[in-house]
Amino acid sequence: MTCFPKLFSLLAAGLLVTAPGLATAQDCIAQVRALWAEGGPLDPYQRPPHRHVNTVRDATGAVTRVFTSIIETPLRTVAGIPGTHMTLAIDNEVWTGPGETGPWTAQPGFDHDRRAAHLADQAQRQANLEDVACHGTVERDGSAYLSYGYTTRTDPNEEMGGAWYGSTDTVFIDPETGQVMIWEMGEFRSSWAPEPDGETHEIVYEYDPALRVVRPE
């Protein structure tokens, strides 16, 4: 079992509840902040290599898009809609192609520190948490998870005209590995679309330590 200190220190302290309603408000906000802390389940840089599938639904519940991702690390990824458009990114280099294996065509790369941007996003979301909920242990599709809900957003980015974005999420975490297994998002808001349109995302994770994202030859 891989242990992640932020989560399992809470387990050891007995702060993680096993039934809804047992956490005080102060305990609950501490638990949800710990999810976003360095080394916590929502820190993308501690997450092992994995695939995830993001199913997007409109306000009626109809599926509108399905995205797939292969993520060795947040800086080595393949993501998009297979058969339509995929993007491969390694550090600041970028390629595009029709599927997970290409063929790949080089594109203009990123011109900023991607890791710093990821970490800033994470810190802002941790700081801006509200409407937190600690659901305790819940069962879903025959498996037991620790589940939490919250609303959060990024800070306005003055270098991008004050742009910000956020959502209301529910996460389902494997209590043995400390890894997020299902991440539901909705109530999307942003500086350019402040009113939610009813769209929801359901991201399902599958971990595979052997996954690698390889630079095209």
Q: Please say if the pLDDT value at position 2 is more than 60.
A: no
Q: Please say if the pLDDT value at position 22 is more than 80.
A: no
Q: Please write the tens of the pLDDT for every residue from 168-209.
A: 999 999 999 999 999 999 999 999 998 999 999 999 999 999
Q: What is the DSSP string of 87-140?
A: EEEETTEEEEESSTT---EEE----S-HHHHHHHHHHHHHHT-EEEEEEEEEEE
Q: How far is residue 203's CA from residue 80's CA, in Å, rounded to a whole number?
A: 13
Of 176, 68, 169, which is closest to residue 126 (Cα–Cα)? Answer: 169
Q: Please write the tens of the pLDDT for every residue from 93-129.
A: 999 999 999 999 999 999 999 999 999 999 999 999 9
Q: Out of 2.40.40, 2.40.128, 3.40.50, 2.50.20, select the CATH number for domain 5-207.
A: 2.50.20
Residue 21 phi/psi, 5° resolution? 90, -5
pTM here is: 0.88
Residue 50 token pair:
């994995």
Q: Please write the tens of the pLDDT for every residue from 145-167.
A: 999 999 999 999 988 899 999 99
Residue 167, pLDDT score: 97
